[in-house]
Chain A
Amino acid sequence: MKKVFCRPKSIKRTPFHYCPGCGHSLLHRIIGEVIDEMDLQEIIIGVPPAGCAVLAYNYFDIDMGEASHGRAAALATGMKRALPDRIVFTYQGDGDIAAIGTAETIHAAARGENITTVFVNNGVYGMTGGQMAPTTILGQNTTTSPGGRREDRDGFPINLSEMLAIAKGSAYIERTAVNSPANILKTKKAIAKAFRTQLERLGFSLVEVLSPCPTNWKMDTLEACKWIDEVMTAHFPLGVLKDITGVKKDAH
């Protein structure tokens, strides 16, 4: 019998600790598939964050070096400058990248650091129990925005990827989602393109992935996927925000 589906070889045989319906496990798998397909396992180094994905090194069978909260882009900068022929990527949540790590991220992009960032946006601080994130949208209920986020009290959410697209040093920025099979495939393509951007030394690349957090959103899985389509994408529209790669063949 022909084997048509299996675990990517760059993903360890460890059961994920993520909640049911969480986007992280899907995204780990997609990244694993891309690493396998591009044959990167021996030259890639990942930088997991503080946040739900802090244990990513338990799942990826690649070299990984954990960063403190928000500092992944700085750490990856030091690492990539020391090993310019390796592929270095950071894997960060919205609180990590768009609140405490804003400065590190913007400056890595501005310098045009040749690294890739996977930015998982689920609009809440997941691991600490669902507090308001920099990307919590107006009206969204969290444990620290009771009654829903209000601009007069909590301020507006931040569209970090749009800001990074302005940076002269960024080469490829795209926002995708993992709430449907079609979006999952697009996300996989975007991650592959981001790694290619790095291989071609074109500058900073980032894929923002809108990802469901049913546990903290207090929704079931299907509701959460629907909420991304109906509410979240209105504030964070999907699509390519910047692309200087000139590679059109895999545009979508």
Chain B
Amino acid sequence: MRGNHIVAEAAVRAGCRFYFGYPITPQNEIPEYMSERLSKVEGGVFIQAESEIASIHMVIGASMAGGRAMTSSSGPGISLKQEGISFLSALELPAVIVNMTRGGPGLGNIAPAQSDYFQATRGGGHGDYRNIVLGPNSGQELADLTHEAFDLADQYRMPVVILGDGMLGQMMEPVQLPPEVQIKKLPHKDWTLTGAKGRPSRFLRSLILDPMEEEEHNWKLMRKYEKILKEEVKWEAFSVEDAKMIVVAFGIAARIAKGAIKRVREEGLKVGLFRPITLWPFPAKPLKELAKKVKHFFVFEMNMGQMVEDVRLALDGSGEVHFYGRPGGVILTPLEISRVISSYYYQKKL
């Protein structure tokens, strides 16, 4: 199955009944699939909105009403959605946002890139907030993480971003699809707007004029984020046990780097891979733990160096951090990465 189709199918299986989108390459297969699929599901709603801005606000409306809602886009379209993502955070509304990242800035191109890491993990819009950001590296993870994203969004009442890229979206892989969720069995939401029948009226607002009250709202968000930092961190460690050098990469770059590591391992180089799966919360503690034994970290990204900042923050000086990246939609190759690894490895006489 194609990556974009996997995301769409996994979302429907997770109980997503509301999809609002706008065409942009390389994620068009998501709205295309959803338009067909949701028309065949009870209560399914698909709207091709007039803009990315409208689509994210339709997500807000459906989420306020208690539905599992999703939108997807790429680079420039995700920029347009930032207003709504900030409001989702402020209003504490669950939603899933998929970014099949392309080369940027500006219109850039339609080739795969990882250049929206900062935008996704720092919040992206105005105000003090974070998104849960999941970084899948395969068709299977697109399925599993998309499915899980809806649960996380509901549990924490906040937006969850699936940070993929054009390659993951277009790539075809065999996949085991997650089970179909029974919407009626999902946990009850006691905050939705459905009409004040048999209960006092409710409102959802993000305007809090009193600074003390807005500060308290911010601290409330912060407490939620602290819980997530403690409980929701996910990562993969590969061949790190005897490693003298650790490669850090996420998403598709990590998949490519794994190939490179297997290649240099055959030559006897003791290199491991650390792959953050949750990009926020970033797995800082397990990474720092590795620095007790390893002092050399090499970060590979398909951008000019974004996650490398989180790696430096996590290690806090307890290891040497180097970076190699290809921005603009250029795809790293296993050969390229293995050459960089080898030359560093021998240079440092590891």
> Which A residues lie at the B interface, using CB under 8 A?
41-45, 47, 50, 54-55, 57, 60-68, 71, 74-83, 86, 103-104, 106-107, 111
Contacts and interface: CB of A to CB of B under 8 A. Distances in A.
Nearest to A78: B61
Given A68-B87, A74-B49, A42 B195 contact: yes
A76 B59 CA distance: 10
A74 B58 contact: yes
**In the complex, the 10 A-B pairs of residues with the closest C-beta atoms, listed nearest first:** A78-B61, A78-B58, A57-B203, A82-B65, A79-B61, A74-B57, A42-B197, A107-B50, A78-B62, A71-B57
B34 to A, nearest CB: 14
Contacts of B84: 68, 71
22 contacts: A41-B196, A44-B195, A63-B195, A64-B201, A66-B206, A68-B83, A68-B206, A71-B60, A74-B49, A74-B55, A75-B60, A75-B61, A77-B54, A77-B61, A78-B57, A78-B64, A79-B65, A81-B47, A82-B65, A82-B67, A86-B195, A103-B54
Contacts, number: 133
B57 A63 contact: no
Given A82-B67, A103-B51, A64 B61 contact: no
Given A78-B60, A81-B47, A71 B203 contact: no
A77 B69 CA distance: 13
Contacts of B221: none
B271 interface: no
Contact of B18 (A47, A67, A78): A78
Interface of B: 17-18, 20, 45, 47, 49-51, 53-55, 57-67, 69, 83-84, 87, 91, 193-198, 201-207
B contacts with A: majority SS: mixed
Contacts of A67: 57, 60
A78 B19 CA distance: 9
Nearest to A55: B207
A64 B193 contact: yes
Contact of B54 (A50, A79, A81, A104): A104
Contacts of B66: 82
Contacts of A77: 47, 54, 58, 61
B170 to A, nearest CB: 28
Question: Among the interface residues B18, B69, B203, B206, which one has the most CB atoms of the partner chain A within 10 A?
Answer: B203
B53 A74 contact: yes
Given A45-B193, A82-B62, A65 B203 contact: yes
Contact of A104 (B57, B195, B203): B57
B196 A61 contact: yes
Question: Among the interface residues B20, B58, B63, which one has the most CB atoms of the partner chain A within 10 A?
Answer: B58
B54 A65 contact: no
Question: Among the interface residues A42, A54, A71, A106, which one has the most CB atoms of the partner chain B within 10 A?
Answer: A71
Contact of A65 (B17, B67, B197, B204): B204
Contacts of A62: 195-196, 201
Contacts of B59: 78
B201 A82 contact: no
Contact of B193 (A63, A74, A107): A63
Nearest to B64: A65
B57 A75 contact: yes
Nearest to B17: A82
A103 B49 CA distance: 10
A66 B203 contact: yes
A75 B206 CA distance: 14
Nearest to B68: A82
B62 A54 contact: no
Contacts of A55: 207
Contacts of B65: 45, 78-79, 82-83
A79 B203 contact: no
Contacts of A60: 201
A106 B62 CA distance: 20
A81 B62 contact: yes
Contacts of B49: 74, 107
B201 A63 contact: yes
Contact of B196 (A63, A65, A80): A63
A199 B58 CA distance: 21
